[in-house]
């Protein structure tokens, strides 16, 4: 199953160094039966995009924590790692597309890495600062989240990630 794993720049650096990704809490997103049921229309590609979008929003939450810990040098870019895995469990206690990954994700299982471009950094940094307020219904915060989500993530082949990290 294709899963979308929220990540941050430091996690990407570790992926390059260790050739494996350790998802925070084992959390990822996928086209689950519950996600499919929550949409009245949409083909598999559109629903996969919805799962990836949930992972991108979760990446904002991870960035919020890093910035809150004083890691201001972390690039303000949402990162989603797409991987093909078999050993996952559904998470009905979380969002419709949430799944749990058991263990680290090996580089050989990664299909693509999606990363914000530099022009999204201002919007992403603002969004990361208000993600909790948006989750609690603050409309101004939700507007800032929307500003970040208006930026499309760039696609990278797993073989390009080392160069991306080096340039970043």
Which stretch of DSSP H or E encloses residue 100? strand 98-101
**Residue in the block written with tokens 């559109």:** 46
41 occurs within a structural domain: yes
165 occurs within a structural domain: no
133 occurs within a structural domain: yes
What are 33-49's pLDDT values in tens digits? 788 887 777 788 888 99
**Residues of the domain holding 111:** 2-157
Compute the distance between CA of residue 121 and CA of residue 137 in angstroms, rounded to an integer.
Answer: 23
**Sign of the torsion formed by the C-alpha atoms of 64, 70, 71 and 77:** positive
54 occurs within a structural domain: yes
Retrieve residue 135's tokens. 């989750």
Stretch 86-91: mean pLDDT: 87
163, with CB counted inside 10 A (0-12, 13-18, 19+), is exposed
Whole-model pTM: value is 0.93
Looking at the predicted structure, is the pLDDT value of residue 109 above 80? yes
134 occurs within a structural domain: yes
Compute the distance between CA of residue 6 and CA of residue 57 in angstroms, rounded to an integer.
Answer: 8
What are 111-144's pLDDT values in tens digits? 999 999 999 999 999 999 999 999 999 999 999 9
> Count of domains in the chain?
1
Looking at the predicted structure, is the pLDDT value of residue 97 above 80? yes
162 occurs within a structural domain: no
Listed residue (53, 67, 45) closest to 121, CA to CA: 67
Compute the distance between CA of residue 53 and CA of residue 33 in angstroms, rounded to an integer.
Answer: 17
Of 20-29, 94-103, 138-147, give the lowest mean pLDDT range. 94-103
42, with CB counted inside 10 A (0-12, 13-18, 19+), is middle
**Sign of the torsion formed by the C-alpha atoms of 5, 98, 65 and 102:** negative
What are 44-84's pLDDT values in tens digits? 888 899 999 999 999 999 999 988 777 778 899 999 999 99
88 occurs within a structural domain: yes
163 occurs within a structural domain: no
Compute the distance between CA of residue 74 and CA of residue 138 in angstroms, rounded to an integer.
Answer: 26
């Amino acid at each position: 199953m294709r899963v979308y794993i929220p990540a941050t720049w430091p996690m990407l650096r570790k992926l390059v160094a260790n050739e494996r990704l350790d998802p925070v809490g084992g959390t990822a997103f996928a086209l689950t039966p519950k996600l499919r049921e929550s949409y009245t229309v949409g083909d598999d590609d559109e629903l996969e995009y919805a799962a990836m979008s949930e992972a991108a929003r979760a990446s904002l939450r991870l960035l919020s924590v890093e910035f809150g810990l004083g890691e201001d040098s972390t690039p303000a870019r949402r990162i989603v790692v797409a991987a093909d895995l078999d050993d996952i469990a559904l998470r009905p206690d979380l969002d419709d597309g949430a799944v749990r990954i058991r263990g680290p994700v090996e580089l050989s299982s990664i299909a693509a890495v999606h990363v914000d471009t530099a022009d999204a950094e201002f919007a992403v940094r603002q969004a990361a600062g208000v993600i909790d307020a948006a989750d609690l219904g603050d409309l101004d915060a939700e507007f800032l989240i929307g500003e970040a989500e208006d930026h499309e993530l760039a696609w990278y082949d797993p073989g390009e990630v080392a160069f991306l990290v080096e340039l970043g």
